[in-house]
Each structure stands twice: as C-alpha cells, then as structure tokens.
Chain A
Amino acid sequence: MRSRGIAVFGALLLMGTPALAATPSPNRQEALRHMVRQDCGSCHGMTLKGGLGSSLLPQALDGIPAESLTDIILNGIPGTPMPPWAALLSADEAAWIANELKKGLAP
C-alpha cells in the first residue's frame, strides 16, 4: 500500500507540469476568483475593464508574459497604488491568477 502510494505520487510528479502541480484546490480557486472580482475589482473594475488601475482583460494583457503578471501581483508596482500581495497570496496562487486573467477569468 505504502510503496504503491509513493509510486503513484512519483508518477504524478513526473507527469505533472509545474503549473499543474501547484494549482490551487477548487475551493481556493473559488475564493481567489471572488477576491479578484471583488477586491482587485475595487481598482480594476469588477468586470476587470479598468478603473484607477489598468484593464485586466485578456486583450489588455496580451504581450505581457504570465510570469511578469505573477511578479506584479506578488511584488506590486512601486510608485503606483498596485500593492504587493505576497502577504495574502502564495506564489502558486499568484501564478494561477495570472494565467486565469490571461485566459479571461471565469465569472
């Protein structure tokens, strides 16, 4: 039992891409979606089309790599109101949000 479990885990590790391995749980995804719409939405608009902050719609983020977005989410943009969210979000969660934003965050 134990060895089989380890084997399966190892196989998953080999198969899974880093992004997949770090995907937040469904419950956490729901909470993150809510946070993006409601709290990021304070500045970026609840429909994410922008406000005091810039638009976060896929077409506006086109050309910005997900890694850069992840970095902005975690570390903010000094000199602007965009704060570093590292105290409230893990790196994996920020990466997940960045990828979702580029795809178009599901309502």
Chain B
Amino acid sequence: MTRTGVTALAASMLLGACAAGPEIRGTGDLGVVIERATGSVKLVEHSHDTVLGEVGELGDLSHAAIVFSRDERFAYVFGRDGGLTKLDLLTQKLAGRVMQAGNSIGGAISADGRLVAVANYEPGGIRVFDAETLAPVADIPTGSKVVGLEDAPGNRFVFSLYDKGEIWLADLSEPASPQITKFTGIGRQPYDALVTPDGRYYIAGLFGEDGLAMLDLWRPEAGIRRVLVGYGRGETALPVFKMPHLESWAVADGHAFIPAVGRHEVLVIDLATWTEAGRIPVEGQPVFVMARPDGRQLWVNFALPDNGVVQVIDVPSLKVVHRLEPGPGVLHLEFTPRGERVWLSVRDADQIKVYDTATFSLLATLPAEKPSGIFFTARAHRIGL
C-alpha cells in the first residue's frame, strides 16, 4: 500500500471512530467500584474481569451506594456529601449531578425506573428526583436521620427513621403528592433495612435492642411485626466496631440469614414462622452476609479487627466450609449475576480480588484506590437493590 493509501485509511478509521461514538456493546456485564478516598469510581466488566475506565470528581464517596437504570446504562451514585450523580457507563461521562442535601446515606430507584430517591441524614428525610433529568419531584422531611431506604412494588419507597424508631411507607404512584403511611414504635435505633427479593417484606435491623422490625408490604394494614426479639438476651454484646449492613437479604433454602449485632454469629430465621432457626458461629462480627445468587453459599465479611477475613457458609449444613484471607480491609463483595464468581474489595491493599466460588481459587486481581462498594448492573432488575 502506498503512503497516501495508508494515510487515507488512517483518516477514514479516525472518522469512523468519531462517527460511531462509544463502542457498541451491551451493559449487562458492567459494574462500578467505589473508590472512596479519591472520590472516583472504576468502571469494570465481569465477562473478562477488567477495568474499563475511571470517572472522578464525584465528591465524598465514603459509604457511597449505587442503583442502576432499568436499561443498565446509567448508574446513580449516592455520595456521603449529598451529591447525586448520574453516570453514563457507555460514554464513561457524567450525565447529571445535583447536590441535594448536606449528608446522605444511599438511595433507591422506583419500580417503574422513573424516580430516584435519596436517604438523607442532614436535613433528615428523603428527596425524590426524576431519573431522566434529576429534576426534584418530591421532598419528604422526617425530622430524623433516614436509613434503610428501599424500593418496593407499586412505586413505593420504604425507609426507617433512626432517631425516632419509625418506618415510613411512601406511595409515589402520584410522584408529586406522595401518600405516606407511618409506623411508630418499631424499636430503638433502626440502622439499616432490606426488602426480600420478592418485594413482599421490609425488615429493619435494630441497633438499640436485639431484634428486627418486619413490615408485610402485602398487608401493611397489619402493622409492624417484631422478629427475633431478644435474640441476645442474657448475653453481653461485644463492642460493635462497624455497623452491619442489610442491603442484600440473604434468603436461601427457606431460611433468611442476617448478621447478629455485637456477636460472632449469623442468625438464621425460619421464613415460614419468622422465628429463630439457629445461629452459625463465625470468626468475627459479620458486616455483610451475602447469599450466592443460587442460595447454596453465604459469604461473610467482618468488622475490625477481623476485616481481613472472609468465611463461606454452606447453606444445607449451616456450617462454615471455607476461610479466605483476601487482604486487609475487606469491605464489600458482589457476586456475578449467576454467582460463579465473586468480587471482593480489599481496601487497604488497594485491590479488587475475583474468586471462583466453586473452587475458591483467585482468578484476578485488579487495582483500585481504597475500594469499597462493588455494584454490578444486574441489580437493575432486582427488587430492593
């Protein structure tokens, strides 16, 4: 080929690249990893376990959380500093950003995908935004720090009031005029909550007492039911160096599994009777108890000083069957959609580690600055995530 030919070819390739815009690809295998110290996120994909890019200047991302648009193209990042950022996973650019409060703790996306709600500590309440434009839609002040904000079927949001011990159910069928149902006296200091994968039950963990508060979303008129009341009665709880998280309700084999507060135990709940079905002794105070998507295994990480360890529980036998030491400061874990692999963020090693969940072998190590939450787009189609 002549030199002119080469030049022309190169020019047409450049033109072609410009005209085509972002690479044409699906988004079902994409994910976002929070880099909390630098206020940035890593964009990743889990078909080949690689980092695709990085987006920065997202503010204070300590304890940041993410939900996805139903087309799995956009991530909504909830920052600690009240920043709500809409991130385009394909162009790797910001598609919108608002500073909507002074201090925030997470959010949820409505069943129809049109509303994004943010839980705020300061000012206490939730604020709801148009998922397309991030324009404000509704403001629901609570006079309390809000925790455990979850989506529920029927374009409803459910959340708990840490300072007041209440659960509020907000129906946003008419987004501009939310219908609020309040449940009071649910227990002291709800710290986090979750919705079961079928969207039926909302369960808030209580820090101020042993037990959980459960709301049946099929029958909200029945009110709050207390579950596992006094599970630690007569025992001295250990100091809790990190609040457990309930983002992902580990439900498997007719049982639900939750971290015990201040104990080296995973609590097992019988879902038919909502009574305690057992306790699984583990190495430290559990923070996340996550079920592999098929429900066969639970992976558990721990609070200080055991946060370098991950244990795997076999669900049929309710026993710990494996122990890993991925590195210092294991903060979060996320399964691939079918659960053949799990990604772990190892904060103090500045690494993400990918393991095979059948053989427990390490498959990949990816760099990330002080990684915390890992979020895969498959969450877009799951209730309560």
Contact = CB atoms under 8 A, between A and B. Distances in A.
- Range class of the B interface residue count: 20 to 34
A84 B105 CA distance: 24
Contacts of A83: 239-241
Interface string B83-122: 0000000000000000000010100000000000000011
A41 B243 contact: no
A86 to B, nearest CB: 8
A9 to B, nearest CB: 33
B239 A52 contact: no
Contact of A51 (B37, B63, B189, B304): B63
Contacts of B347: 38
Contacts, number: 64
B191 A45 contact: no
Interface in B318-358: 329, 347-348
Contacts of A34: 348
A81 B62 contact: no
A24 to B, nearest CB: 17
B80 interface: yes
A51 B239 contact: no
A81 B207 contact: yes
A58 interface: no
A76 B121 contact: no
A87 interface: yes
Nearest to A76: B239
B143 interface: no
B162 A52 contact: yes
A43 interface: yes
The winner among B62, B162, B242, B370 for most chain A CB atoms within 10 A is: B62
Contacts of B239: 76, 83-85, 87
A84 B237 CA distance: 12
B351 to A, nearest CB: 15
Nearest to A81: B207
B243 A42 contact: yes
A53 to B, nearest CB: 10
A64 interface: no
B305 A88 contact: yes
A99 interface: no
A46 interface: yes
Contacts of A42: 62-63, 242-243
A13 to B, nearest CB: 33
A41 B347 CA distance: 13
Given A38-B370, A81-B189, A46 B121 contact: no
Nearest to A80: B189
Interface in B11-44: 36-37
Contacts of B241: 39, 83, 85, 88
B210 interface: no
B145 to A, nearest CB: 7
Contacts of A79: 208
Contact of B36 (A43, A46, A52, A81): A46
Nearest to A107: B37
Contact of A45 (B60, B189, B243): B60
B327 to A, nearest CB: 14
Given A39-B242, A45-B62, A85-B239, A50 B36 contact: no
A41 B62 CA distance: 7
Contact of B240 (A37, A47, A81, A88): A81
A45 B145 contact: no
A46 B208 contact: no
B305 A50 contact: no
Interface string A29-70: 000001001110111011101111000000000000000000
Contacts of A43: 243
B189 to A, nearest CB: 7
8 contacts: A37-B37, A39-B242, A41-B62, A45-B103, A46-B36, A50-B121, A85-B239, A88-B304
Interface of A: 34, 37-39, 41-43, 45-47, 49-52, 76, 79, 81, 83-85, 87-88
Given A45-B103, A51-B80, A83-B239, 14 more contacts: A38-B37, A39-B304, A43-B243, A46-B60, A50-B121, A51-B63, A51-B105, A51-B121, A52-B105, A52-B145, A79-B208, A81-B189, A83-B240, A83-B241
